[in-house]
Amino acid sequence: MRLTLFGYVLRTYVRFALGILGGLVLVFVVVDFVDRAKTYTGPGWVTDAAKLYGYKALMAVQQLGPAALLLAAGTTVSALRKQGEVTAIRALTFGPSALYVPVLAFGLLACSGLVVFDEVVATHAGRRVDEITTQRFNRWGDWRFYYTPKQWFRRGDRIFFLRAGSAQEGFQDVSIFTLSREFELRSRLDAARMEWLDGNRWRLTGVVERTFSGEQDTAVKSLESAEYELGIAASAFRIRPGRPEQMRVRELREQIVARREVGLATKQFELALHNRFAYPLAALPAALLGVGLALRNSRKGHLTAAIVEGLLVAVGMWGLMMVCRTLVLTERLSPPVAAWTPPVILVLVAAALWLRREGFLHVPRRWLAVR
């Protein structure tokens, strides 16, 4: 009997989850297309727009998956309650675990799937969306911010200005500034080309070396070619352009290390790394919260109430994530704390509902009275 009940609740939850996810993705695609339809012009725009929204739909699955699991949990319990099946479950002496356990089981599987989906599919889909939007429909947005090659790097007391080239092929038109502890310019190297030799050693050609020992005391030396120990390896300059959310875990970790070595900001990359796991996993406590809300004794309404409650929770968590992201970018909050705060809050609220329902957490009515 218990196994049959588990399968029945599980099937109901899966149907609601897939249906709600499909509906959310469809609404997102339609609204986005209507909002941007004027920008899609030119020969073959229909085919290109279809590809674009195919990739956007894949991104939407990852973005809206947690919300779908939350809404599905509430609507599943509400549908069973509306048909009197929750009362029948209680009459058979089954407790709330008969509803929580199937949601928990599928939630674990779905959350793990969302993590893998984000890593394998959504990251690639995001890059393709940017490529099609910029190259085919000439809509740049903040593309330049993420894809313009980085030219300024800092390592210790040296600042590197690498105007062209790469670590693998060599850099052209290079300037290297050496600063004192008081942030005063001590020397400047200008070179037509900079090539990596081994370790921290580099060969510079077409060199003009300037040394500053006072406000007007400058020594200038020109060299056809020279080798320098610059205190930095070629791997530190392998900064990959692109949005952090579109990089896989291994790439994010590499970029965090490389950017930290040359003095570039890493907060956004650290946040993206933690969110790769925190955001999908937030769906699990969110789904359990949906079950708890739907099982309240004072609950009025059924499916409509479940949807409204789920949307309010989703909007609240989304707002909290945006606030945490802003605090990270302004360096007022660490990325791990920002990424994991929303899931932790969902866990605490879901646990409080469970404990209160089981009688472990009693809130006196006088505490809830309006004073």
Q: What is the pLDDT of residues 260-278, one digit of tens each?
A: 877 788 999 999 999 999 9
Q: Is residue 223 part of a domain?
A: yes
Residues 133 and 156 in one domain: no
pLDDT at position 166 = 80
Helix, coil or strand: residue 370:
coil
Q: Is residue 158 part of a domain?
A: yes
Structural domain containing residue 182: 151-237
pLDDT at position 371 = 37
Least confident of 133-147, 164-178, 227-241, 246-260: 133-147
Q: Does residue 287 register a pLDDT over 90? A: yes
> How confident is residue 39, by pLDDT bands cut at 50, 70 and 90?
confident
Q: Is pLDDT larger for residue 194 or for residue 148?
A: 194
Alpha-carbon distance of 231 to 317, in angstroms, equals 45
Note the helical H segments in 37-162: 45-82, 85-91, 97-117, 123-131, 143-147
Q: Does residue 136 register a pLDDT over 80? A: yes
Choose the final residue of a domain: 188, 216, 237.
237
Q: Does residue 162 register a pLDDT over 90? A: no
Q: Does residue 43 register a pLDDT over 60? A: yes
Q: Does residue 280 register a pLDDT over 60? A: yes
Q: What is the pLDDT of residues 57-110, one digit of tens each?
A: 999 999 999 999 999 999 998 888 888 887 787 777 677 788 889 999 999 999
DSSP string, 47-63: HHHHHHHHHHHHHHHHH
Alpha-carbon distance of 278 to 64, in angstroms, equals 14
Q: What is the pLDDT of residues 244-264, one digit of tens each?
A: 998 999 999 988 988 887 778
Q: How many distinct structural domains can be found in the chain? A: 2
Residues 210 and 323 in one domain: no
* Mean of per-residue pLDDT scores for the chain: 86
Residues 49 and 134 in one domain: yes
**What residue ranges in 138-245 does DSSP mark as E strands?**
152-155, 158-166, 170-179, 185-198, 201-212, 218-229
Residues 19 and 135 in one domain: yes
Residues 156 and 123 in one domain: no
Q: Could you tell me what percent of the chain has a pLDDT over 70?
A: 90
pLDDT at position 177 = 93
Residues 134 and 43 in one domain: yes
Alpha-carbon distance of 167 to 158, in angstroms, equals 17
Residues 2 and 133 in one domain: yes
> How confident is residue 3, by pLDDT bands cut at 50, 70 and 90?
confident
